[in-house]
Structure 1
Amino acid sequence: MTAYAIGHIRPGTMNEEILRYIEEIQATMDPFEGRFLVHGAQVEVMEGTFPGTLVVIGFPDIERARAWYASPAYQALVPLRTRHIPGEIILVDGVPPGYDARKTAAGLREAAGL
């Protein structure tokens, strides 16, 4: 099942370390079959607030997403970003093929006795 690394990246200052991070991140993802789905895109906020940009990286599964994030190659790059740009990074499993939200709702309804 596809898993995702999602970053909510706040505004920061462009500098040599950030450019190096961007130049080198793909090589850290390649061994884990990670690929950018969204990279630094401005979002269109429909509800609430969302300062900054969004990054979404897809991996074949959560194990490879975790292994990429924990890898020495990626961890060596992290300070290049975090010293200059605040943000949050999360890992999350996607839904399986054929997922139907109605089935989820039915299970929640049954569990809640509604």
Structure 2
Amino acid sequence: MTAYAIGLLTPQPPLHDEVFVYMERIQATMDPFGGRFITHGKTPEVHEGEFGGAVVILEFPDIDKARAWYDSPAYKEIIPLRADHIPSVIMLVDGVGADHDAAALAAGLRAAQRG
């Protein structure tokens, strides 16, 4: 099942040169794990809550590949280039299949909650 790495970033201009080096090197760290950008540094249209930053979404073939990418020596090496200069929240999450049914999920959760 497809999985995603999501980054919520709050960059402060001007960007540090190390951030540009990170951007130049990240794709090479993703390639061995089948990773690709879905969105990169876009400012979201916020409809609920508050967020004053940018969003990055990466897609991987599955959660194991996403974890392997994040834990890879190549990616670990470049993390400080971003993290030392841009406050971020980074998360990995499984996607859902084409047959996902939110109503069925709600019914199952409701039943489980009742005991």
Question: Do the structures match in fold with TM over 0.5?
Answer: yes
1:72 & 1:95 partners in 2: Cα distance?
28
Deviation at 1:26, TM superposition (A): 0.3
2:86 & 2:113 partners in 1: Cα distance?
42
Amino acid of the residue matched to residue 52 of structure 1?
G
User: What is the aligned length?
Assistant: 114
Deviation at 1:61, TM superposition (A): 0.2
Match of 1:37 in 2: 38
TM-score by length of 2: 0.94
TM-score by length of 1: 0.95
Report if the CA contact (8 A) 1:3-1:60 is conserved. yes
Write the deviation string for residues 73-113 of structure 1: whole angstroms up to 9, x where unpaired. Answer: 00110000111111110000011230010110111222233
SS of match in other structure, 2:8: strand
Q: Does 1:97 align with 2:90?
A: no
1:11 & 1:45 partners in 2: Cα distance?
17
* Deviation beyond 6 Å, 4+ runs, structure 1: none
Percent same amino acid among aligned pairs? 57
Gap regions ≥5 residues in structure 1 = none
Gap regions ≥5 residues in structure 2 = none
Match of 1:6 in 2: 6
The alignment's C-alpha RMSD in Å is 1.3
SS of match in other structure, 1:108: helix
